[in-house]
């Protein structure tokens, strides 16, 4: 499902302090079926951009289209609920949203809010919990009795159970060990592929961008300053520096090798496998 | 939820920001008592002038103060309407048996409204211009005499300091949890009353759980730093009493004196 923003301006309210124009007249299109990473410094407007796509933030000016649904400041009340059914949002530390007596009820909460009958929601909960790699016996347990990692999977299952067409992920791996983080990312990426979803991922980890994303949006000072594929982004060192970003490990190593050996490899390498191939091609390995 | 401004601090460097928190606290409390001296329109006018001067001096825009009154507006209107409907005397405009709208009632209603809003405005001035931590220090200082009555003053002010410290954190967290449940299809402020109450559960339980976790973390952090509740403590932040602080208290006394001079002797509306 395609997402389209047309000259969207949005304000942000934190407590009594209103920051006007946290997003300044943004226009962009996120292609249907793409896996788009959103990068940028803290306070650059990443979270606000994502909240716009879920109706949690309503544009002051301009319009947000999610498939056929259009959100503007005038029609927000009706359109937002439809939009939320299409868009699943996994917040940072999603385990903090768990509340029900049992894991099953917590997973059923989302679907039932959108009018799925109870019996069907139960069926969905069973499917989804297996899909995220947890044992079905956990369904009858209290979510608060689970381990931290399990809680995160249950919370994600609660979002996936809504079977959204668009998935918005805000650092889903935050606070996990590297192995746990990779498992979470792989799971979400696989889900994205299987269901043909449109996915947006906010991340500070450029290796995630390199590994999973086929498009990158870079935010700076409330504007989109870059939108293209990761190779293009990581080729432009000056821009990377200016926007406060980092490079993926493989690309860093590539630059180091290029400097030491005084060569230029044929391509921008984002993963170690690509780097290895490029080195063999150049006769350096 | 995040519209709540009572108890929030606005950083700034106005005259009011610089006054010693003890002076501000005393002045704020004495204002509530001074309010009850007023009993005619001219005294209320003086009070309103005083209130607006304070609001201006704080350097915070009036809009923010008005927003602070909004959550309490129904309580205020309820009290005002009781005053309007059940005070007899003066010229009577509408008479439905026990319920009358009279000139005394209307005037009394206006006074009640003024009293409520001025209390809110002035206490908001105090909290907006004073860091919560300074406020608790001031409270701790002013409560010291109660130690003689074996009241655990230091513990009480520590609890207050911790509670105040967590208000913004919990408000922000509430916002996050609400957003997360909204994203899962909850629509707040819609449906019948029982339905709306049911929607609070998915907010409160996560908040409750995280507050308990936070409290335990905090207790552990204090424990490993060797916190003992009954030890004598010195303070990192020192309060300095200055001339302006005395001036502030004198201003309050003056206000009281002026009101005493201007108030109507003898007849009360109550």
A220-238 burial, b for 16+ CB within 10 Å, e for fewer? Answer: bebebebbeebeebbeeee
Confidence band, pLDDT 50/70/90 cuts, at residue B231: confident
Beta-carbon separation of A14 and B172 below 8 A: yes
Q: How far apart are CA A125 and CA A103, in angstroms?
A: 9
Residue A65 forms beta bridges with which residues? A4, A70
Write down how long chain A is. 285
Task: Report the pLDDT averaged over residues B182-194.
Answer: 85
Confidence band, pLDDT 50/70/90 cuts, at residue A15: low
DSSP helix/strand/coil, A94: helix
B3 contact A CB<8A: yes
Per-residue pLDDT at A135 exceeds 80 = yes
pLDDT reported for residue B86? 81
What pTM, to 2 d.p., does this model score? 0.75
Confidence band, pLDDT 50/70/90 cuts, at residue B6: low
Task: Report the pLDDT averaged over residues A200-208.
Answer: 90
pLDDT digits (tens, 9 = 90+) for B128-151: 999 888 888 898 889 989 989 988
Kindly state the DSSP code that residue B269 receives in the 8-state scheme: -
As given in the structure block, the two tokens for residue A91 are: 């917040």
Q: CA torsion A105→A111→A113→A117, rounded to 10°?
A: -90
Taking CB atoms and an 8 Å cutoff, what residues of chain A touch B167? none
A145 contact B CB<8A: no
Q: Which of B8, B180, B186 sits opposite A113 (nearest CB)?
A: B186
- Go through the domains of chain A in sequence order and give each one's CATH number: 3-247 (3.40.50.300), 248-285 (no CATH)
Task: Report the pLDDT averaged over residues A188-201.
Answer: 92
Taking CB atoms and an 8 Å cutoff, what residues of chain A touch B173? 96
Confidence band, pLDDT 50/70/90 cuts, at residue B191: confident
Mutation site, B183, B199, B200, interface A, largest A CB count within 10 A: B183
- Mean pLDDT (chain A, rounded): 88
Q: How many helices (H) and strands (E) does chain B have?
A: 11, 2
B205 contact A CB<8A: yes
pLDDT digits (tens, 9 = 90+) for A160-180: 999 999 999 998 888 888 898
CA distance A67 to chain B (A): 17
Q: How far apart are CA B81 and CA B87, in angstroms?
A: 10
ipTM of the complex: 0.86
pLDDT reported for residue B89? 76
Domain ranges in chain B?
A: 1-130+240-270, 150-237
Question: Beta A87-90 vs A69-71: how paired, if at all?
Answer: unpaired
Taking CB atoms and an 8 Å cutoff, what residues of chain A touch B2? 13-16
Beta-carbon separation of B2 and A14 below 8 A: yes
Confidence band, pLDDT 50/70/90 cuts, at residue B254: very high
């Amino acid at each position: 499902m395609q997402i389209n923003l047309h000259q969207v301006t949005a304000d942000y309210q934190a407590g009594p302090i209103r920051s006007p124009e946290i997003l300044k007249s943004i226009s962009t299109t996120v292609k249907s079926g793409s896996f788009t990473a959103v990068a940028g410094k803290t306070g650059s407007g990443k979270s606000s951009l994502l909240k716009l796509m879920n109706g949690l933030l309503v544009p002051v000016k301009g319009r947000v289209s999610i498939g056929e649904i259009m959100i503007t400041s005038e029609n927000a009340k009706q359109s937002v609920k439809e939009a939320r059914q299409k868009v699943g949002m996994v917040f940072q530390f999603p385990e903090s949203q768990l509340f029900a007596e049992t894991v099953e009820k917590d997973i059923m909460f989302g679907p039932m809010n959108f009018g799925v009958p109870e019996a069907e929601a139960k069926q969905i909960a069973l499917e989804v919990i297996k899909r995220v790699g947890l044992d079905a016996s956990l369904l009858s347990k209290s979510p608060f009795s689970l381990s931290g990692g399990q809680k995160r999977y249950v919370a994600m299952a609660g979002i996936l159970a809504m079977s959204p067409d668009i998935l918005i992920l805000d650092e889903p791996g935050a606070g996990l060990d590297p192995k746990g983080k990779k498992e979470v990312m792989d799971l979400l990426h696989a889900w994205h592929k299987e269901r043909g979803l449109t996915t947006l991922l906010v991340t500070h980890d450029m290796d995630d961008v390199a590994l999973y994303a086929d498009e990158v949006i870079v935010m700076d000072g409330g504007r989109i300053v870059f939108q293209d594929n990761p190779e293009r982004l990581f080729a432009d060192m000056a821009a990377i520096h200016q926007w406060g970003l980092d490079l993926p490990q493989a690309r860093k190593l590539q630059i180091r090798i290029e400097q030491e050996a005084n060569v230029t490899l044929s391509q921008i390498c984002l993963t170690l496998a690509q780097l290895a191939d490029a080195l063999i091609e150049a006769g350096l390995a | 939820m995040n519209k709540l401004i009572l108890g929030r601090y606005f950083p700034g460097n106005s005259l009011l920001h610089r006054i010693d928190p003890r002076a501000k606290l005393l002045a704020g409390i004495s204002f509530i008592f001074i309010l009850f001296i007023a009993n005619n329109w001219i005294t209320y006018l003086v009070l309103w002038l005083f209130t607006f001067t304070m609001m201006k001096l704080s350097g915070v825009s009036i809009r923010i103060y008005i927003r602070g009154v909004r959550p309490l507006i129904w309580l205020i209107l309820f009290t005002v309407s009781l005053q309007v409907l059940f005070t007899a005397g003066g010229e009577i405009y509408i008479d439905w048996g026990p319920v009358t709208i009279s000139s005394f009632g209307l005037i009394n209603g206006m006074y009640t409204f003024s009293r409520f809003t001025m209390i809110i405005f002035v206490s908001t001035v105090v909290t907006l211009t004073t860091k919560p931590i300074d406020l608790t220090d001031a409270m701790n200082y002013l409560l010291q005499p109660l130690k003689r009555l074996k009241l655990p003053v230091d513990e009480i002010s520590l609890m207050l300091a911790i509670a105040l410290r967590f208000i913004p954190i919990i408000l922000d967290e509430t916002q996050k949890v609400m957003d997360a449940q909204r994203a899962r299809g909850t629509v707040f402020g819609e449906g019948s009353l029982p339905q709306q109450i049911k929607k609070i559960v998915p907010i409160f339980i996560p908040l409750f759980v995280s507050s308990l976790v936070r409290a335990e973390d905090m207790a552990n952090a204090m424990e490993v730093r060797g916190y003992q509740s009954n030890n004598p403590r010195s303070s990192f932040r020192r309060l300095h009493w200055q001339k302006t602080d005395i001036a502030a208290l004198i201003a309050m006394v003056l206000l009281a004196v002026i009101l005493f001079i201007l108030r109507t002797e003898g007849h009360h509306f109550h």
